A and B are shown apart, each in its own frame.
Chain A
Amino acid sequence: EVQLVESGGGLAQPGGSLRLSCAASGFTFSDYWMSWVRQAPGKGLERVASIKEDGSEKYYVDSVKGRFTISRDNAKNSLYLQMNSLRAEDTALYYCARNRVSLAYWGQGTLVTVSS
């Protein structure tokens, strides 16, 4: 059974940093693109970043370029999102998802709140 478990969310001040993690199991992690998708309270879905199987390609939505960094550790079956220079508009539930387009499996999400 595919499982994706996010962690690392919480309250951060504007300009602050957080590092999200996603632990994957139930599939060969190194065979798949992985993505972070966020959902602001009461809003729709937005893919934030995606990373290729071997980490050699990374995509970011324009609003986070230069502030967020996606990475992975295939030996640990883990996906990460380093979030710096956080803004109020980054407040959202952040989901880890398998694949970069079809987003076949999702975790339950970790909540990031940016507020002073």
Chain B
Amino acid sequence: QSALTQPPSASGSPGQSVTISCAGTSSDIGAYNYVSWFQQHPGKAPKLMIYEVNKRPSGVPDRFSGSKSGDTASLTVSGLQAEDEADYYCNSYAGGTNLVFGAGTKLTVL
């Protein structure tokens, strides 16, 4: 299965909102509500930020939100803070035993 498509980079100023897209197909994002988003700071392990498209694990600020339209999922970070600067990865269940990831988006807080 093909990887999901994310923009390599995104940026925003403190306090602004930024949206990162994750494009898939009708076989993965379009077919299932099992999209997750992970945040990874340099040298650190990934951290789950959003699961099942729009659910936040306990402890994740409500500045992070997820959505899906058709074959594309999105992560929105509102009220950008310096500590939000990190790499963000999406993944999606793709049926059977398949799980696909995006290549990641580097978010820069200007």
Contacts and interface: CB of A to CB of B under 8 A. Distances in A.
Interface of A: 37, 44-47, 50, 59, 95, 100-109
A44 B36 contact: no
Given A45-B89, A101-B36, A106 B47 contact: yes
Interface of B: 3, 34, 36, 38, 44-48, 51-52, 57, 89, 91, 93, 97, 99, 101-104
B45 A102 contact: no
B97 A59 contact: yes
B45 A107 contact: yes
A45 B38 contact: yes
* Residue from the set B34, B38, B44, B46 with the largest chain A CB neighbour count within 10 Å: B46
> What are the 3 closest A-B residue pairs judged by CB atoms, nearest first?
A59-B97, A102-B51, A106-B45
Nearest to B97: A59
* Residue from the set A45, A46, A95, A108 with the largest chain B CB neighbour count within 10 Å: A45
A46 B100 CA distance: 8
A107 B47 CA distance: 10
Contacts of A37: 46
B51 A95 contact: no
B68 to A, nearest CB: 15
